[in-house]
Chain A
Amino acid sequence: MSARQAMPAIYAMSGIAATPPAPAVFPTAAEPPARAGASAPPVPPMPTHPPRVSHAVRRTPWQRPWPWTARAACAALTCHVAAVVVNCAAEGVVDIGEGGGFTLGALLVAVDATVLLTVLARTHRQSLDEGEPDR
């Protein structure tokens, strides 16, 4: 082995053209180290730099998909306001039951209650579900 091959850094600093050393090889998930047993889980590759956030994919809150809680809250509020507006504006007498007393206002109040119960049931189910992350 020549001196140039043995001390590449010194030669590099001195500006003398040298043969570049072979790049270091670090273990990856595809190539587990030899001492790892066959039963050991594969080790994920260690990140070497922070992930780059592309400005092209950053979106405002209005463009992002809303979580189901926000959608449920909006649906419940919309149903309730619709029920109130219809009942206030027409006293709920947009009769869709041919005089049987079944009005649009009553229908919207029923929808309002249904949305509420659905959301409540889903929340209860999700709160019991182990799959939901804690934050």
Chain B
Amino acid sequence: MSFLDPRTLAFVLFACFIAVSFLLCILAATGNDDPTEFYLGTSGLSPMQNGLAIAGDYISAATVLGTTGTIALAGFDGVLIASSTVLSILMFMLVMSGPLCGHGRFTLGDVLAERLSERPARVNTAVVCVVVVLPLLLVQLNGAGSMMAVMLGIPGSAAVTGCTIFIGSLMVCYAALGGMKGTGFIQIVKTFVLFAAFVLLAVLVLKRFSWNPVSLFGTAADASGFGGTFWQSGRQYGDSAAGRLDVLSVQLTIALGACCMPHLTMRMHPIRGLRAARAATTWAVGAVTTLLVLIVIVGAGAAAIVGGAGLRTADPTGNDTLLVLTRALDPGTESAHRSLLFSVVACAVIVTTLAAVAGLTLAAAASLAHDGLAKVVFRGKLSPDRELAAARTAIVVVGVLAVVLAVVTQHWNRQVLLSFTFAAAASALLPALFYGTMWSGFTVTGLRWSLYGGLVLTVVTMTFSPSVSGAPLAVFPDQDFQWFPLHNPGLVTIPAGFALGWAGSRFGPRPRHVRRPAPEPEPYATYPG
């Protein structure tokens, strides 16, 4: 029967998701007639809905594909990455939710402009936000494009390029139509779809091992090729001193970098009140933790069922581990796109990616349109209609730029772009955000030093790291200009970013006193009479 053809079913599932998500976006778009509703549209959601939307933003294709692959190929180091992701969202809940929630702010520029000089705070933050968000956008688009090409059974680079452009167009439509509310709804749907897919995979994996996790992890260690050392640290970057420092660096980078990404901080702005923010983030932590436990089971299952050698042959970076596992769990089919399980999982991953890229595009476009254009170029005199039009134009610009760059970087190792994104966020954005919300002595000079200093340091160290040259999995494997020993520079650049922010505020020029209007009348009574 043609309807039961897995390829057709996958196509129908994907089309259903697109139809539902467009419907949600159109429903959300009915109220998007002013910038406040466009940027803060999720203020009416319950804490659980907000929490699931935050969790959806947190769990990108990088987490789903990359972490699963690292667990399958490197064992304990992958589990540490999963735990650092949980720690990251915990830090987000504890440290960021308080200063960021409420107050009608749209972007990080709004947050920093409250205490610093407005124009430099907005311009510098917007530039760094776009630079930080774009590489993550490329990773998601590339992942979704290649996954869709495999799901449809179309081989070749041209098919991947076509699928990437299609996904990019959908992303622009979602973000431009739905705004914050539309992308929030899509994130909630995505969280449920992803949960369903990973519960199914974990059940199938555990069933193979008679529902015994000890047997699963033991078989994974035996089949990985590392034996008993599979569940010890050092398999990802080697046993050298640099390799061990690299593991620590990755942990710090993920734990501190993911918690200040603009598309996540933007989700906190619509939530009114600290209590609601805590409740929402508690839901988010619970959802992310549960999903990561499932990811650990699936990753170990990939190592146990497929084996380390098979996984490395399929993709040495580990990004295809999930797909290889789904094919192994459904061995009756001769090719990937003929497998029903593969089609369902691929559909879930594409949905994940689509939702993530919509949120990222919205965050980058908000920085450009709201901070750059509306507040700096037009000095806040833009009418609501024109600001909304500017936001939608910025979404199209960011989307087109991202698709072009994604096509160019199609064959790059995605881990490099991921490392750069999180390292740059932790080294540049986090110090600025931390000092800007918690230290009254922070100045514009400190902001510039931390933002640009952290970013430049990250670019320089990444450029001369083994991730870019001098290694088989590097971006340029045939060239060797590396001198920085770590794949992930966070161990050096994160403290440097904090030190630069402090030094700039302490030793840089002091700002002239700017008289600002009082935010609200003083509560003190006048003299009686």
Contacts and interface: CB of A to CB of B under 8 A. Distances in A.
B279 interface: yes
A24 B34 CA distance: 54
B244 interface: yes
A48 interface: yes
B278 A135 contact: no
Contacts of B282: 120, 123-124, 127
A93 B255 contact: no
B439 interface: yes
Contact of A48 (B90, B248, B522, B528): B528
Contacts of A105: 233
A88 interface: yes
A9 B95 CA distance: 60
Nearest to A128: B279
A83 to B, nearest CB: 8
A85 B251 CA distance: 10
A116 B86 contact: yes
A13 interface: no
Given A72-B94, A84-B80, A123-B282, A134 B248 contact: no
Contacts of B248: 81, 84-85, 88
A80 B232 contact: no
B518 interface: no
B87 interface: yes
A135 B87 contact: no
A103 to B, nearest CB: 9
Contact of A127 (B84, B101, B278, B522): B278
Interface string A93-135: 1000000000001000100110010011001101110001111
A83 B439 CA distance: 30
Main secondary structure of the interface of B (DSSP, over half): helix
B439 A61 contact: yes
B525 A120 contact: no
A47 interface: yes
A33 to B, nearest CB: 13
B120 interface: no
Nearest to A80: B87
Nearest to B79: A109
A24 B529 CA distance: 11
Interface in A38-59: 46-50
Contact of A73 (B91, B274, B275): B91
B527 interface: yes
In this complex, which of A47, A73, A85, A89 has the most chain B Cβ atoms within 10 angstroms of its Cβ? A73
A93 B524 contact: no
B492 to A, nearest CB: 15
Contacts of A73: 90-91, 94-95
Contacts of B273: 134-135
B274 A77 contact: no
A84 to B, nearest CB: 5
Contact of B84 (A26, A80, A91, A132): A80
Contact of B91 (A50, A76, A93): A76
B373 interface: no
Nearest to A109: B83
Given A80-B84, A127-B282, A134-B273, A46 B525 contact: yes
A76 B95 CA distance: 12
A109 B76 CA distance: 11
Interface in B73-91: 76, 80, 83-84, 86-87, 90-91
A84 B90 CA distance: 17
A92 B83 contact: no
A89 B94 CA distance: 29
A120 B252 contact: no
Contacts of B232: 87, 91-93
Contacts of B95: 69-70, 73
Given A49-B524, A134-B274, A80 B83 contact: yes
Nearest to A26: B528
A113 to B, nearest CB: 8
B316 interface: no
A132 B439 CA distance: 24
Contacts of B310: none
B285 interface: yes
B58 to A, nearest CB: 15
Contacts of A119: 90, 94
Nearest to A93: B232
Contact of A50 (B251, B286, B524): B524
A120 B283 CA distance: 10
A50 B522 contact: yes
B274 A87 contact: no
B322 interface: no
A76 B87 contact: yes
A99 B524 CA distance: 69
Given A84-B247, A109-B83, A119-B90, A92 B233 contact: yes
B45 to A, nearest CB: 15
Contacts of B98: 69, 135
A19 to B, nearest CB: 22
Contacts of B251: 80-81, 84
5 closest Cβ pairs, A-B complex? A127-B279, A134-B273, A127-B278, A88-B244, A73-B94
19 contacts: A48-B527, A50-B524, A61-B439, A69-B94, A70-B94, A70-B95, A76-B91, A80-B251, A81-B248, A84-B233, A88-B244, A112-B87, A113-B83, A116-B289, A120-B285, A123-B281, A126-B278, A128-B279, A135-B273
Given A77-B87, A91-B232, A120-B282, 7 more contacts: A83-B80, A88-B233, A88-B245, A91-B229, A116-B86, A124-B279, A127-B279
